[in-house]
Structure 1
Amino acid sequence: MKKRSPLPYAVLAVGIIAAGILGYQTRSANAVPADAVTMTAEADGFAGPVKVSVTATADKIYAVKVLENGETQGIGSKAIDQLPGVIVEKNSLAVDGVSGATFTSNAIKTAAADALRQAGFDAARFGAEPVQAETTADTAMEIPADAIRAIGEAQGNNGPVKVEIVADKEKIYSVKVTEHQETMGIGDKAAEQLPAAIVAGQSLQVDAISGATVTSNAILEAVRAALASAGLDASVFEHAPLVSGEKADDVVLDTDIVIIGAGGAGMTAAIEAADAGKRVILLESQSMVGGNSVRATGGMNAADTIWQDENAFDEAAGVEKTLKTAAEKYADNAEITGLAKTVQEQWDSYRLAPDGYFDSVELMELDTMIGGKGINDFTLVKTLAENSAGAIGWLDTIGAELHNVGSFGGASVKRIHRPVNAEGKTTAVGAYMVPILEENVKKRENISLLLSTTAEEILTDGKGAAVGVKASGETGNTVTIHAKAVVLTTGGFGANLKMVEQYNPKLKGFMTTNAAGAQGQGIVMGEKAGAAVVDLDQIQIHPTVEANSAHLITEGLRGDGAILVNSEGKRFIDEVGTRDVVSAAEIAQPGSFAWLVIDQKMADKSAVIQGYIKSGYTVTGEDAAKLAAAMGVDGAAFSETLDSWNGYVAAKQDPDFSRTSFAEPLEGTLYAIKVMPGIHHTMGGLRINTKTEVLNGEGQAIAGLFAAGEVTGGVHGANRLGGNAVSDFTVFGRIAGENAAKLAG
């Protein structure tokens, strides 16, 4: 709302420059002996190969230089400026990466290690990680001389998936994914895990990796293609996987804190608790981390941040509309009325002396309360908004930068903070954040991550306090964990369609955008431990789910200027309204679907849109008439709709549906995605307080039991605003980790 001092960032910039200078001084200060060797190598960075030269002897590194790279200026360039000097100064590759530039840092260290190996030196002597053997085949399996090596390819979610196999007519000895463009944190997990499963089971009927079905199927099809190209009969391997039948031993573990669910909230809580010095066991029922969090496409809402100030303020109409809604529809709601009074005062003051970008914690609270129809737990809403800007700063410290700010449905102003890729294009927040959270979890020695381990019961003592968890391991063995605190971060129940129908029968038959693990187990376990629940009937449907694949299409496209048209080629709603309102309007259209229309300018700025195009979700046309034909709608009606909309954009006024968010006109080459509503988020769950303590039916905290994220209820009320889910799991995940650590002593 007001300009913040740029001093901290000026200091940071000076620090970066100084670090770069010191790095080069360190290299030049070392006298390089005559027997030193200089070698070059490269490794994949964020935006492509990073080429590095290293000058060294067997026991000392004298120089490291990045020769070529395509990394992002201001992000990857930080690692290029700083890391070589640190490696030389420490004479080690076992140094921390540069915050916010993890991929580039790892590329520099990997390339430097390879250069040392090429020079004939022991890279491990300098702290390099050992070269990992391929895990795609049974390394104990002897490969006969007549085995055939072959290549196969199939279409994945984002493009071709290529594999290399080694096999004969009776056995598959090796499967390796050699090339793919699948989503990090989702599809790449299938590329990591499925090849070994194929070899171990000697089967093409192995289960797909949960949450990565399309990529899994592509790998299997590519293996079939490779077998065919080798002249081998793939049907030999079309049987149930071979299994050893061995059950692992039951195990009993002791820890300070056990966290159930390794999605965004769980990993955030684990990092905070570990950084407080506590031992943490993090359980995940699926074979990979991420849950629903990895599927988040938009960004994270945060109020009154320095990154908002980088935008010109042009959202006066949005603020006025929200204040009008509060006065006309919520005059009997004390919290909303009080917030509206405060925001009105802030708005009047800003208009008298505009300074920076206008937003406030109270305006975020007001938007969230109105979006939730006023039934939200106001104390939780305040906690969410008041800690949102700090959460953006915390994410910076672990290497997750959300600095691009845009518009989103239900928000009065530009508030959603998004990541950008190496080309400066916005990208999906979940696929960006989850790998960074996972990396932070794995590098903390006091966090133990147990995948494919399903919690079944919260253990309690004689007084009802939570003291541990009973779980089932991958082979069916019992895993018992004793702990001083238990944190539930299991997510909602959006993938449990029977449970959805139980609480909201009107949603029977709807598709879902949820990950397979969103089954509501945490809610059931919490209730058995005495927890109260709230708002379980409040289940959100998202208006833009791709009609054929059930893939979530980000709300950010509408915030960036997209429109929705029906099968008659006409707009029918304010596209950036709340999800419940837009979904209801969409259901009321002929066929209960719509077309989301974007243009080439938007596609050029968004890696997300480019992914939709590659995945085949779009139809396209060089102009309105040709796009109308591709959509199968009336050309004259659609052309009139588009002309009217572009006029509204120019005038910054929408007389048809009172939309207040405008970007640029839609023109040139156009694209459209067929969308319909799908089950997206369950607002209800366990009742918690602002400390994330789980409450019983009397409103008292259950000792030792905490919860965060979608497993909880209250903060979102009757409808969640886009961008508030990431805020929710980050803010309350941090609070849960901090308070569980305090309880653990």
Structure 2
Amino acid sequence: MSVVRFETPDYEVEAPVLVVGAGAAGLVAALAARAKGAEIVVLERDPLPRGSTALSAGLIPAAGTRWQTAAGAQDSPELFAADILAKAENEPDPAAVKRLAALSGPVIEWLADAHGLDFSLVDDFRYPGHSAYRMHGLPSRSGEELVDRLRQAAEAADVAILTGAHVTALFATPDRRVTGVEIARPDGSRERIGCGALILACNGYGGNKELVAQHIPQMRDALYFGHPGNQGDAVLWGEALGARTRHLGGHQGHGSVAHPHGILITWATIMEGGVQVNAEGRRFADESQGYSEAAAGVIAQPDAIAFTIFDARIAGIARQFEDFRQAEAQGAVIEAADATTLAERLGLPADALAHTLDEVERLKAQGGTDTFGRSFSGVKPLVPPYRAVRVTGALFHTQGGLVVDDDARVVGEDGGPLPNMFAAGGAACGVSGSKASGYLSGNGLLSAVAWGYAAGGAAADDAASR
């Protein structure tokens, strides 16, 4: 169990800036600190940096970028901030939203220019809640590529990454200044590393069933699709040091994980005109609201199973994502020439499924809105042959966490910053509010790269001032 010890031991080695976690948040923080000349040590519990970043689609939302300009996409940080607040019903801190939206474009342009990450804009569909094309990704559209490229950039910048280094304790003075950490090695040995500044980039608590049951009881039995190491260490350490937390019930779910294959199916399958049905062959929600809130709806269906139905055109759009290509290769994507054959292959009532699809196409033709509130105006029809994937809902990662200021410094219950602790990514309170429905696509990686960038720069300045 991770703990805080109010003592100052002898340290075997010391680092001006110490980062816990080598996902996108930790690696971007390390690169930002290194750009200011700071010596960095990144601690990663796994044999290779992966984290929740590797499980994502690797898409970072950003506003006002050169890729948007080239594509003719009209956007601005102000519009992006408005979209974030609208999706989360104005629950997030407006100052935090403004800060992240303003940082988003400069950070990915810096990653491209300084570290060679070849981003491009997803410009053939929009995710729910975004009023402009603003998702930026690497060629494979995979989180694995993103974390690998960030790791390579960190190594090229002479950032020390210690793998197999599980942080089990923080050491702090009575005034809440962290002086170092204890790490456990795979062979059972332990080491103590001192620090000038500490950046927590070890995500949230999605892998901790007790904390999930406490803060997100509706997801306590859901499939967890995040990294098992996300045990809530940052929140627990922060609380022990008197840090403020907010929106601990906030989380990102996903209503389209191929089952039993365990592969994420892009929500483009829905946004481009697809639908979801249950085992009765009937729709059960407005799918266009978003994939995060869809998770609970799918889990509520018989056996927690639904079927995402789309067509060959949509499959062509989805195929830009590595996950979807893997799903096809593993046989998760079912093909059928017509609705009757599709029902047979999915084990669904043929009459009910045919009626459902007919009704959807009628609404599309008329530009109508269904009883769930989904508008089909301007949505392209599904054209046989059909495609379908058997899916379940899942918890991806938590969005609540430690409250931070504009420099990603952790804020105490008294309103002032802790002396030398920073947080980024899932360790910090995100901008999704207290519910799954507040999650705007990409909020997780937005918090990772933007807060990571802010934390790295401020921690380097902090360490240099000592």
TM-score, structure 2 length as denominator? 0.88
**1:275 partnered with 2:51:** no
- What is residue 440 of structure 1 aligned with on the other side? 153
Query: In structure 2, do the counterparts of structure 1 residues 662 and 731 end up closer, same or farther at CA, with 3 Å as the change threshold?
Result: farther
How far apart in 1 are the matches of 2:301 and 2:375?
19
- What is residue 671 of structure 1 aligned with on the other side? 387
Query: In structure 2, do the counterparts of structure 1 residues 305 and 638 end up closer, same or farther at CA, with 3 Å as the change threshold?
Result: farther
Q: Where do 1:397-546 residues align within 5 Å?
A: 397=113, 398-400=115-117, 401-405=119-123, 406-421=125-140, 427-428=141-142, 430-445=143-158, 447-546=159-258
3-state SS of paired residue (1:601): helix
- What is residue 619 of structure 1 aligned with on the other side? 334
Q: Where do 1:363-374 residues align within 5 Å?
A: 363-374=79-90
How far apart in 1 are the matches of 2:375 and 2:442?
19
3-state SS of paired residue (1:713): coil
- What is residue 64 of structure 1 aligned with on the other side? none
3-state SS of paired residue (1:484): strand
One-letter amino acid of the counterpart of residue 633, structure 1: L
3-state SS of paired residue (1:303): coil
How far apart in 2 are the matches of 1:285 and 1:298?
21
How far apart in 2 are the matches of 1:478 and 1:699?
35
Query: In structure 2, do the counterparts of structure 1 residues 488 and 662 end up closer, same or farther at CA, with 3 Å as the change threshold?
Result: farther
| Selected match of 2:280 from 545, 564, 568 | 568
3-state SS of paired residue (1:697): coil
3-state SS of paired residue (1:374): coil
Query: In structure 2, do the counterparts of structure 1 residues 418 and 514 end up closer, same or farther at CA, with 3 Å as the change threshold?
Result: same
Contact persistence 1:576–1:661 (CA under 8 A) = no
Contact persistence 2:29–2:457 (CA under 8 A) = yes
Contact persistence 1:456–1:472 (CA under 8 A) = yes
| Selected match of 1:706 from 405, 417, 422 | 422
| Selected match of 1:292 from 28, 49, 52 | 52
Contact persistence 1:304–1:360 (CA under 8 A) = yes
- What is residue 744 of structure 1 aligned with on the other side? 463
How far did residue 500 of structure 1 move? 0.8
How far apart in 2 are the matches of 1:541 and 1:615?
23
Q: Where do 1:81-230 residues align within 5 Å?
A: none
How far did residue 652 of structure 1 move? 5.3
Query: In structure 2, do the counterparts of structure 1 residues 364 and 526 end up closer, same or farther at CA, with 3 Å as the change threshold?
Result: same
How far did residue 679 of structure 1 move? 1.4
**Percent identical across equivalent pairs?**
28
Structure with higher Rg: it is 1
3-state SS of paired residue (1:256): strand
How far apart in 2 are the matches of 1:619 and 1:497?
33
Contact persistence 2:21–2:201 (CA under 8 A) = yes
C-alpha RMSD over aligned residues: 2.4
Deviations 1:125-173 (A, max 9, x none): xxxxxxxxxxxxxxxxxxxxxxxxxxxxxxxxxxxxxxxxxxxxxxxxx
How far apart in 1 are the matches of 2:111 and 2:363?
38
How far apart in 1 are the matches of 2:325 and 2:460?
43
- What is residue 552 of structure 1 aligned with on the other side? 264
How far apart in 2 are the matches of 1:486 and 1:621?
54
How far did residue 651 of structure 1 move? 5.7
How far did residue 590 of structure 1 move? 4.4
- What is residue 333 of structure 1 aligned with on the other side? none
How far apart in 1 are the matches of 2:96 and 2:385?
45
Query: In structure 2, do the counterparts of structure 1 residues 617 and 497 end up closer, same or farther at CA, with 3 Å as the change threshold?
Result: farther
How far did residue 298 of structure 1 move? 5.9
- What is residue 5 of structure 2 aligned with on the other side? none
How far apart in 2 are the matches of 1:295 and 1:265?
14
| Selected match of 2:347 from 632, 643, 659 | 632
Determine which structure has greater relative contact order: mean sequence separation of CA pairs < 8 Å that are 6+ residues apart, divided by chain length: 2
Query: In structure 2, do the counterparts of structure 1 residues 298 and 662 end up closer, same or farther at CA, with 3 Å as the change threshold?
Result: farther
How far did residue 262 of structure 1 move? 0.5
Deviations 1:315-354 (A, max 9, x none): xxxxxxxxxxxxxxxxxxxxxxxxxxxxxxxxxxxxxxxx
Contact persistence 1:471–1:478 (CA under 8 A) = yes
One-letter amino acid of the counterpart of residue 455, structure 2: A
TM-score, structure 1 length as denominator? 0.56
How far did residue 410 of structure 1 move? 2.6
Aligned residues: 445
How far did residue 273 of structure 1 move? 0.8
Contact persistence 1:612–1:618 (CA under 8 A) = yes
One-letter amino acid of the counterpart of residue 122, structure 2: N
